[in-house]
Structure formats: C-alpha cells, structure tokens
Chain A
C-alpha cells in the first residue's frame, strides 16, 4: 500500500483509537468512472471534516475562517457533488485518486481494490519516542472495476453508478450526523496535532489516504466472465 498523506507521522501506521469509527463503502464502476467516483466520496467526507482556518488571538480565543463550496459535475457519471473550495485540497485528492486508479486499472490487477481515508490525531511523545498517530475515523471505499461491452451498457452504467453514489452520499451524511467522537478543539500549540494547517484556505482534520489493490485470486476466466455478465444483467 502506498501512503499519500497530508501530514504523515510516518513511519508507524496510525493505531486506531478505542473509539475509532470505521465505515466501509462499496462501488462497482467502469474504469473511466473510478476517479470521479472516488473524488465524489472523498470530497463529501472532507467537506464535513474541514473547517475554516483558525486564527488564534489573545486569551486563548480563536476565530474561524469561511469555507466556500462548489458544485462539481461528473463527466462519466450522471452525478454531481459539492466540494470545499480549495484548489490545494482538490489537487491533493486528485493526485491520490489518480495513483489509485492507475494501479487499479493497470495490468496485473483484477480490477478490485480499496482506497482508505484515515483521520488521525497526533500525540506527542517525549524523546526518544516518536509521535503517535491515533486514528479516530477510517473510511474505506472498496472498488470493483467492471468492463462493459457496448455503449448501451455504458449508458445504463452512467445512470446506475450515479444512483449508487447518491446512496453513498446519504450514507456518509448519516455517519456524520451521529455526532460521535471528534477531537477536542485544540489550543494554538496543539492545533497541528489535530488539523492540517498547511492549506491556505481551509483546514481539514489531519488525514491520510492510502490504497490497496487486491491481488488476483486466480479466478478462472469463465467465472469472471459469468460474474461480469451477471452484474451487467443485474443492472
């Protein structure tokens, strides 16, 4: 797996906190839809997990900047989503998603993989121990790439994947609404342990994106073909 992080506390992998939530989403998409589908999900999550920039003042008080939002239309999916207006953040996500897509759709891959978005907090340790990363929320998106035979199927796929993504957005919002654990608002000295303060216009919680491509299980061709046809018919 390849970590692409905003603020990575490498080398150790983040350890889940006791109250770490883990959510799993699954989608089946065509190769050309992978990037947009992933961006839609990741941006929706980060919309909820980003605040405006903090400006600390005297007496330990702070004010918060403003987060703008914008609509994004997908080209290969009948779908639109809202993302935070931050070019830096968008670039970071696009980079991660492109790498994931290249690995997923490249040779040697069965077309199955998953991309993970982790939110973590840093806990400073005294020398000589390195800082700990405590994971408090983990989102995993499992992706299955399908190959479609003709234009009609592709058109159906555009619509179906659009509908599926609508469901995913609703799922994400449900989770966000649970108002479960969120890191405490930090003091000025602690802010970098909770938030990614490197962006100039917004401030997401510290996050890390990584992915895994499922090894080919050596399934026979017939089985794979059957599965694809089944999936297509099920559409």
Chain B
C-alpha cells in the first residue's frame, strides 16, 4: 500500500545517506591501510560538514576512485561495493589480503525511520568499521609497509570476488543496518594463510632504491579498475585534477529537526573545470608520468617514516576539504562551512609556491586535525577558488596553481624540469634523513627550517600532532650543549649530563671476558655428572609432576 512506501523525501534522503555511507566506508578502509595512525578531532559545534557526526577525512583521490567505481549507482542486491586490499612486494609479487564488502540484501524494514534511526545506525556502523579495520591481520602489515612491500587498494562495484584470498579465508561481519529498501551489510573477508607469513618477514632491511622503482607503473588488473597504493597520492596518468567536490549538491545534514538542514556548500570555480591551456597540460603530463616512479618510491619511504610524518601522510597531499580548516582571508579559498557554522579558517594559498612563506598549519581546527601540515604541504592544498569571488586570478596564476597542486605532492624531478613555477622541493623536510642513500638522491634537498624547533613546543600541540613536530625536530635538532632540565642531583655530585657521559660506556662484565668465562664453563662441565645423578634419583617425582600437567 502507498502508506508503507517511502515518501519521496525519505527516499531521497536514504539514497543520499547510502551514497555517503559508501564513500565514508571507503575512506575509513583506505585510511586504515595507509600505514600511519589516524587522528581526527572532535568538535562540539556541528559544522554541518561531517557526515554521520563523525570526523572522517576525505582523501579526494579515494573519493574520486569510489565515485568512479560506483558510477552513480548505489549498492543494491547483486551489486556490491568492494574495496580490495592487497600487498605488493618489492619483487613484484602481489597478494590479495582483504575484501571489504558493502552489500544490500532484500530484507526490508519498512517501519524504520530514515532520517533518524537509519542515519544513527549508519554512524554506529562506521564506528564499528573504524574498530574492525584495526583488528584484521592486514592492519599490522600495513603499519609496517614501505620497505619490502606496499599496500594497495582497488574499488569495484558488482559481484564480490573472493577467490583471490586463498583457501580458508575468514569473514568478519562489521554490521548491518536495516532500511526500508533493504538491509545494508558490511563485512570483510580476509586471507588467513598470511598468518604464517608473520610481519617479521617484512621487517628486514632498509630499502634498496633500485628494486622498488620498477613495479608500480604497471597495472596488473587489466579487466578492472587499477590498483592504487593506499599511500600513493599522485594523480592519474592523464594528469587529472581532482576537484574537491564534483557537484554542489553534496550537502550533509547533521540536524535532526524540522528546520532546514545545515548546508555544506562546496564551490569550485569554473576555471578548474576548464581544460587547462595546452602548455600547462603538456608540462603537467610529462612530469607526472615521469614522476610515477619516484612518486611511489618517495611515498613508500615517506609512509615508512611515521615519526617524520606524524599523523596521516594522507594530510600531506590532501588537506581536509570537507571540514574547512583553511584561512578565510585569502581569495583562494574553499568554503566548507555550514550555514549555521560559519566559515572555518582557510590557509592562505599563495599564487606562487614558495615554501618559506607559508604558515604552519598545525593548529587543530574545527572538526579536523592537521598534523602534518608544513610549509611545503600547504603548497599542495587545493587551490580551489570560491566561486563567488570569480575566477581565480590570471591564467598564469591558474597555471601555477594547478601545477603546484599536481607537482607539489612528492615532487622529485630535478628542478630544471619544473619550468612553470618557481618551486622549491616541497616535503623535503619530510624526506628521511637517516637513509644513507639520501645523499645521492636528487629528490632531496636540504630542508627548510621547520616552524617549531623544540620537542617541548611540539608536544604542546594537541593529540596527534606530536608525531610530525617531533619528527622534524629529530631531523633538525642540533645539540649544542647537553643541558638537560632538572639535572641536578644531590646524591651524586654531578649533573645528569656528566653522569650520562661517564656511564655511557660501562666496562665489560667480567664474566663475559674470555678467561673467566672459560674457567666457569669448565667448572660447570665438571659439575654436570653430579647434577645428572641427582636428577636421575628424583626421576619418579618429575614424572609424577609431568603427569599432573597433562
């Protein structure tokens, strides 16, 4: 009967919820396989931009891939959205680790309230997904990726294919949510015979540059969507620019009320959607293609250096878009505010990508945490203009902004190929200094001085930022004089520094020196027959004891 059918508003809402749920699901899964700890901030005042009341960042490339796979459809019976996580070694071997499936079955719950119960249950399901993504075996593998292997993801839509998981794979159900049009189920099938391949196997040696380079250009899955490294942030081969949001109808409601939902409007200038002038395209294409090798190399190494990167190398290439965090003062801005929430600050986007001028975007902002923000990373942030401000500057600016955006991430081509903009190598300060091959690496230039020098200052930043700041300080901290705080000690009449230096190299234990060692060994050997005799006498007792253990 018509009464029990979904009202058209409910139907629209439900479709929107399912769509964004699917996109957020993909984000959570991929981010959980980046290899770093994820941290987002709670915000007591709703900004109107966080779907399901959860602070989940949106990596644009991932959203792009997900939308591409979905192609405007929603999960339905027989049409599931799958995120495949696989591992690829430096030798080129790859192995599917997990398939996360978002499916829909026919069991409908007509009574359930869409805008309220379904929404809240989807939120709960995302929380469960956050929890479960950390407990499957691939999580620990992904935290250790970078040297011997990387973790890749692939999104496809249609029938679930589990055959690549090997025999005896296990399934864990994340949860289900009933809706009037069917029941959404989220589960993960994961390979278990990697359990014998302990993570120790992958922790051996420092990276050998030559080996890793070759294997990330091919596309081993011709029939389906290409694999993407979870921590690979360069563009597609065609140099596509990922607009932050593709349509202006991506609103998310956080208000459970009859009043109009908070609007979250993302506007992108027309300029970005135009085909860039040919010269830009050409210039873009070449470096991007050529950069493919080093991108990967650089990103895998970068992702292996959690201390240097702090939280979320995801942050480096992709600033959070949906929750603002960008300085409102500058004309190049992204409006990510709800109508009710006000505009979160937007970082200044320079027309020229000089590194040194940028403010360090380390302040946690509403809804989203930027911990890896550095002068260099801001170059890479979306230079999306506010449509109400008109086009973003001159064609030259446009050129530069696009260029900055693309080349900014993991730029590693020699500067002579970077013709259009005056760019320092961004992220140079992230490049790990303690890899010996660094010195010969043209990708790495001496880093610009970081904004915060002292570990203490770094630790004053709120949760999650300590990683990036202290990582940088490890690289750049120069110990001039060892004057540790609180180092006076009444008992020992020396300060901590002196004490440390004095006792840093204690003498060897005498028992470890050869003469004495040999002597005691001889003694031990002599006493063995006696000991054996005693044990043999007591053999019955021992046997009885062992019996009780059975």
CB-defined A-B contacts under 8 Å, sample of 14 = A57-B255, A59-B258, A63-B257, A66-B55, A66-B254, A67-B55, A68-B40, A68-B41, A68-B43, A68-B367, A70-B464, A71-B37, A78-B140, A185-B116
Q: How far is the CA of A110 from the CA of B55 in the complex (A)?
A: 43
With an 8 A cutoff between CB atoms, is A156 at the interface?
Answer: no
What residue in chain A is nearest B133 (Cβ atoms)? A82
Smallest Cβ distance from A76 to chain B, in angstroms?
16
Interface residues of A in 192-208 (CB under 8 A from B): 200-202
Q: Is A224 an interface residue (CB 8 A)?
A: no
Give A58 to B257 CA distance when docked, in angstroms: 9
The 4 closest A-B pairs by CB, nearest first: A61-B257, A177-B175, A71-B37, A166-B135
> Who on chain A is nearest to B464 by CB?
A70
Partner of B40, one of A51, A69, A230: A69
A-B contacts counted at CB < 8 A amount to 157
A172-B258 in contact (CB<8A): no
Query: When chains A and B are docked, how far (Å) is the Cα of A60 from the Cα of B256?
Result: 10
Interface bits A40-66 vs B (CB < 8 Å: 1, else 0): 000010011001110101111111111
Q: What residues of B have a CB within 8 angstroms of the CB of A47 in the complex?
A: 127, 130-131
Main secondary structure of the interface of A (DSSP, over half): mixed
Contact between B46 and A65 (Cβ–Cβ < 8 Å)? yes
Do A66 and B47 have beta carbons less than 8 Å apart? yes
Contact partners of B454 in chain A: CB under 8 A:
none
Proximity string of chain B (118-130) to chain A, C-beta cutoff 8 Å, 1 when within and 0 when not: 0001001101101
Name the B residues within 8 Å of A177 (CB-CB): 124-125, 128, 173-176
Q: In the assembly, what is the distance between CA of A55 and CA of B48, in Å?
A: 13
- Given A69-B55, A169-B131, A169-B135: A63 touches B37 (CB 8 Å cut-off): no
Contact A173 B175 (CB under 8 A): yes
Q: Of A64, A68, A233, which is within 8 A of B256 by CB?
A: A64
In contact, A63 and B42 (Cβ under 8 angstroms): no
Smallest CB separation, A204 vs chain B (Å): 12
Residues of chain B in range 247-268 having any CB-CB distance to chain A below 8 Å: 254-259, 262
Complex: chain A residue closest to B129, CB-CB: A173
Which residues from 397 to 455 on chain B have a C-beta closer than 8 Å to any C-beta of chain A? none
Q: How many residues of A contact B (CB 8 A)?
A: 50
Shortest Cβ distance from residue B135 to the other chain A in the assembled complex, whole angstroms: 4
14 more A-B residue pairs beyond the given contacts A47-B131, A68-B367, A173-B174, with a C-beta to C-beta distance below 8 A: A52-B42, A63-B257, A63-B262, A63-B340, A66-B50, A68-B39, A68-B43, A68-B55, A69-B39, A69-B127, A80-B134, A81-B131, A177-B124, A177-B175
The 0/1 profile, CB within 8 Å of B marked 1, for residues 103-141 of chain A is 000000000000000000000000000000000000000
B169 interface residue, CB < 8 Å from A? no
Contact, CB under 8 Å: B257 / A57: yes
Which residue, of B44, B47, B125, B255, has the highest number of chain A Cβ atoms within 10 A? B44
Residues of A within 8 A of B549 (CB): 226, 229-230, 233
B24 in contact (CB, < 8 A): no
Chain A residues within an 8 Å CB radius of B125: 177
Interface members, chain B 140-161 (any A CB < 8 Å): 140, 143
Chain B residue total in the interface (Cβ 8 A): 51
Q: Does B172 contact A (CB under 8 A)?
A: yes
Smallest CB-CB separation from A90: which chain B residue?
B463
B45 within 8 A of A: yes
For A229, the closest partner residue in chain B by CB is: B549
**Is A235 part of the binding interface, using a Cβ–Cβ cutoff of 8 Å?**
no
Within 8 A of A (CB), among B444-482: 463-464
Q: Which residue of A lies closest to B462 (CB)?
A: A87
Pick from B132, B139, B464: contact of A173, CB under 8 Å: B132
Cα-based distance from A81 to B44 in the complex (angstroms): 23
Docked CA distance A66–B387 (Å): 27
Closest-by-CB residue of B relative to A45 is B131
CB proximity of A32 to chain B, nearest CB, Å: 20
Q: Are the CB atoms of B42 and A86 closer together than 8 Å?
A: yes
Q: Which residue of B lies closest to A64 (CB)?
A: B53
The listed residue (A57, A66, A174) touching B259 by CB distance below 8 A is A57
Q: Which residue of B lies closest to A222 (CB)?
A: B548
Contact (Cβ within 8 A) B254 A63: yes
Question: Which listed residue, B43, B128, B463, touches A70 by the CB 8 Å rule?
Answer: B463
Is B191 an interface residue when CB atoms closer than 8 A count as contact? no
A62 x B256 contact (CB < 8 A):
yes
Question: Given the complex of chains A and B, what is the CA–CA distance between A48 and B548 in angstroms?
Answer: 45
Q: Are A82 and B256 within 8 A (Cβ)?
A: no
Contacts of B143 in A (CB 8 A): 80
The interface residues of chain A lying within 8 Å CB-to-CB of B136 are 166
- Establish whether residues A63 and B256, one from each chain, have CB atoms under 8 Å apart when the complex forms: yes
Contact in complex: A176, B124 (CB < 8 Å) = yes
C-alpha gap A176/B121 in the complex (Å): 10
Separation in Å of the B400 CB from the closest CB of chain A? Answer: 34
Is A26 among interface residues, defined by CB-CB distance under 8 A? no
Chain A nearest Cβ from B283, distance in angstroms: 39
CB distance from B472 to the nearest CB of A (A): 20
Contact B38 A64 (CB under 8 A): no
Q: How far is the CA of A71 from the CA of B110 in the complex (A)?
A: 37
Q: Does A212 interact with chain B (Cβ within 8 Å)?
A: no
Q: How many angstroms between the C-alpha atoms of A170 and B256 in the bound complex?
A: 30
Q: Shortest CB–CB separation between residue B124 and chain A, in angstroms?
A: 6
In the complex, whether A179 has a CB less than 8 A from a CB of chain B is yes
CA distance A62 to B46 in the complex (A): 11
Residue of B nearest to A78 (CB): B140
Shortest A69–chain B CB gap in Å is 6
Q: Looking across the interface, which residue of chain A has its beta carbon closest to that of B143?
A: A80
A77 CA to B55 CA in the complex, in Å?
A: 27
Q: Is B332 an interface residue (CB 8 A)?
A: no
Residue numbers in B under 8 Å from A71 (CB-CB):
37-39, 134
Q: Is B189 an interface residue (CB 8 A)?
A: no
Closest-CB distance, B282 to chain A (whole angstroms): 42
**A contact residues around B134 at 8 Å (CB):** 71, 80-82, 169
Say which residue of B39, B131, B174, B258 sits within 8 Å of A61 (CB atoms): B258
| B54 interface contact, C-beta 8 A | yes
Which residues in A have their C-beta under 8 angstroms from that of B127? 47-48, 69, 176
CA distance in complex: A173, B186 (Å):
12
In chain A, what residue has the closest Cβ to B38? A71
- Residue-wise, chain B 535-550 has the 8 Å CB interface mask toward A (1 for contact) of 0000000000000110
- Residue in chain B with minimal CB distance to A166: B135
Interface centre among B128, B174, B258 (most CB of A within 10 A): B128
Residue A85 interfacial (CB < 8 Å): yes
Query: Shortest beta-carbon distance, A11 to chain B, in Å?
Result: 32
Question: Which B residues from 34 to 72 make CB contacts under 8 A with A?
Answer: 37-47, 50, 53-55
Taken together as a complex, chains A and B put the C-alpha atoms of A47 and B134 apart, in Å, by 14
Q: How far is the CB of B140 from chain A (nearest CB, A)?
A: 7
**Interface: A143 (CB within 8 A):** no
A207 to B64, CA, bound (A): 41
Most chain A beta-carbon contacts within 10 A, residue among B46, B139, B172, B323: B46
Most chain A beta-carbon contacts within 10 A, residue among B50, B135, B548? B135
